[in-house]
Amino acid sequence: MPRAKIIIVGGGLNGLGCAKRLTEQGEDFLLVSENIGGRVKTSPDGQTNYGAYYITADCANIMPYITKKDLVHFAKAHFHSGHTQYRAFSLRMLRHIPAGLRLLKELFIFRRHVQAARARAMHTPYRELIEADPYLKRYYHQNAKEFIKEKNLEALTKEYLEQFLWAAYFTDPREVPTTIFLGVLSTIIIPSYSFIFHFDILTKPFKNKIIIDRVTSLARHANNTFTLETKSGTQYECDILILATPMDIANTLITPQKIKGQINVNYYHLRGVIKKEYDVPWYNFFPIEEEAAISHEPNGTFLYFYNGDDRIGKYFDTWEVITKGTWQPALFFFGDEYINEHPEPNIYLANDHDVPSTEDAFINGHYIANCVLHALHSQIPQ
């Protein structure tokens, strides 16, 4: 039976951040995953991202593995309301200038706090960093609805922000924590780009440790070691297990923890003829009740995200499907729970539950690897 001291399950940015750090320290590990990239998934032609779509210029840790493509900005959006279509920077925006300035001020403050937390997050859990910073703590536990009211942003949210934010996280932005609300809006002040992630470069140093397979069950032994059963029928043994899977999957393998509410979303990547009223460069955003967003990609294809009924015929005259899929889960954004990342002896969880995003997942993977390294080399009982 193949055996390693450490097994990482999951090859998204958490699992890969972990693997990178363990490789740097010369540790014995295997990474077992259904795929490489997880919720960073690119179209067969390598041009269009179906999951994570943009990164900001602040994503310093993943930047070495990325080719930036196009600027992603609020100003590229075409907003719809009934039969009216409007742009971000237009006369319509004038009445929102005071609210916009209040929001901008908050975004600059928020960015400073996030940067300070990120700078320490490879050695301290995000939970601790957030709880130690009164600003982040307040906004992590506050519902964005209250923030919008407090800052008098309702009209701006109704006319612009809710449409923009639906396209980023597929729900009413009033229902998520203020940190998530401000996190995505940070793209207004930080240059943000669509991107190609070069997983081949990132995984090159540990390519021979990757096994593409699905873990189906987990057996614990009396001496706190583990046997993993996989879809292919191979079993793997390890002393330390890192579950770098989304929390809903981790919860099927360990004693379940209370987690935030999950958001799912459907998508199409297609070639076709879009209806005249939606034939604009870049992005079509809609009122949140419509639960839809459409991106006109630079290569002429379209990404259509939706929830509820599939209304592809409402937006397109003709279409040819390149890919159709569902993210389930896409994100965990309802609530303010934290997870316990070391719930059982020799088991660690590395996921984006507490702080989502590609950069934060990668940083968190390093943090979990550092916890394991510390436990292994300081002889502290786990």
Ligand X SMILES: Cc1cc2nc3c(=O)[nH]c(=O)nc-3n(C[C@H](O)[C@H](O)[C@H](O)COP(=O)(O)OP(=O)(O)OC[C@H]3O[C@@H](n4cnc5c(N)ncnc54)[C@H](O)[C@@H]3O)c2cc1C
What is the contact surface with ligand X in residues (CB under 6 A)? 9-15, 32-35, 38-40, 51-55, 214-215, 244-246, 249, 265, 327, 330-331, 351-352, 356-358, 361
What is the smallest separation between the CB atom of 341 and ligand X, expressed in angstroms? 12
Cβ 82 to ligand X shortest distance, Å: 27
Q: Tell me whether residue 295 or residue 357 sits nearer to ligand X (CB atom).
A: 357
DSSP string, 78-118: EEEETTEEEESSSGGGGGGHHHHHHHHHHHHHHHHHHHHHH
Shortest reach from residue 379's CB to ligand X, in Å = 29
Instruction: Kindly tell me which of 160 and 362 has the beta carbon lying closer to ligand X.
Output: 362
CB nearer to ligand X: pick between 319 and 327: 327
The least distance separating ligand X from the CB of residue 150, rounded to whole angstroms, comes to 26
Residue/partner pairs of 35-40 with CB below 8 Å, 24 or more apart: 35/11, 35/212, 36/11, 36/199, 36/203, 36/210, 36/212, 37/11, 37/12, 37/197, 37/199, 38/10, 38/11, 38/12, 38/13, 39/12, 39/327, 39/330, 40/12, 40/13, 40/197, 40/358
Residues 6+ apart with CB under 8 A from 28: 4, 5, 6
For residue 55, the minimal CB distance to ligand X (Å) is: 6
| 10 vs 99, beta carbon nearer ligand X | 10
Would strands 3-9 and 29-33 be described as parallel, antiparallel, or unpaired?
Answer: parallel
Which amino acid is residue 12, in one-letter code? G
Looking at beta carbons only, is 165 or 274 nearer to ligand X?
Answer: 165
Single-letter amino acid, residue 153: L
Question: Shortest distance, CB of residue 305 to ligand X, whole angstroms?
Answer: 7
Nearer to ligand X, 93 or 323 (CB): 323
